[in-house]
């Protein structure tokens, strides 16, 4: 996978994308069916993105937490095209566009989507 979007790092917008992933995960939740691991991980990711540190430190910590989120998404079976797109966007905004292109697919992004690079 050599094609990816190379966008400027934007921690504030990355925080917005995290909120969008939370919203998608909470749609259609009935009773105790919520993806608890993924939602907890998103909460930690929000804290990291809002926390102190240099841009580089925040991106490093956030990307490590986001990789764990990918594993949670797969474990809980909540993959979808929308989740995959948002996860790709998150990694792009953390300066990791190439990794994001791969991760989007792991999280369910449609490989034929016109939104993909």
pLDDT digits (tens, 9 = 90+) for 58-89: 999 999 999 999 999 999 999 999 999 999 99
Residue 15 vs residues 30, 38, 92: alpha-carbon distances, Å = 26, 15, 12
Mean pLDDT, residues 25-53: 88
Domain boundaries, the chain: 11-25+35-106
Long-range contacts for 104-110 (Cβ within 8 Å, ≥24 apart)? 105/1, 106/70, 106/74, 106/79, 107/70, 107/73, 107/74, 107/79, 107/80, 107/83, 108/79, 108/80, 108/81, 108/83, 108/84, 109/81, 109/83, 109/84, 109/85, 110/81, 110/84
pLDDT tier for residue 5 given thresholds of 50, 70 and 90: confident
pLDDT tier for residue 41 given thresholds of 50, 70 and 90: very high
Does residue 3 carry a pLDDT above 90? no
């Amino acid at each position: 996978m050599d094609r990816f979007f190379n966008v400027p790092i934007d921690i504030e917008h990355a925080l917005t994308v995290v909120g969008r992933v939370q919203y998608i995960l909470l749609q259609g939740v009935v009773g105790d069916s919520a993806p608890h691991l993924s939602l907890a991980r998103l909460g930690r990711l929000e804290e990291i993105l809002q926390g102190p540190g240099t841009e580089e430190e925040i991106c490093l910590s956030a990307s490590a937490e986001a990789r764990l989120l990918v594993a949670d998404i797969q474990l809980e079976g909540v993959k979808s095209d929308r989740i995959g797109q948002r996860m790709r966007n998150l990694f792009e905004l953390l300066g990791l566009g190439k990794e994001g292109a791969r991760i989007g697919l792991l999280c369910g992004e449609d490989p034929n989507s016109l939104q993909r690079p």
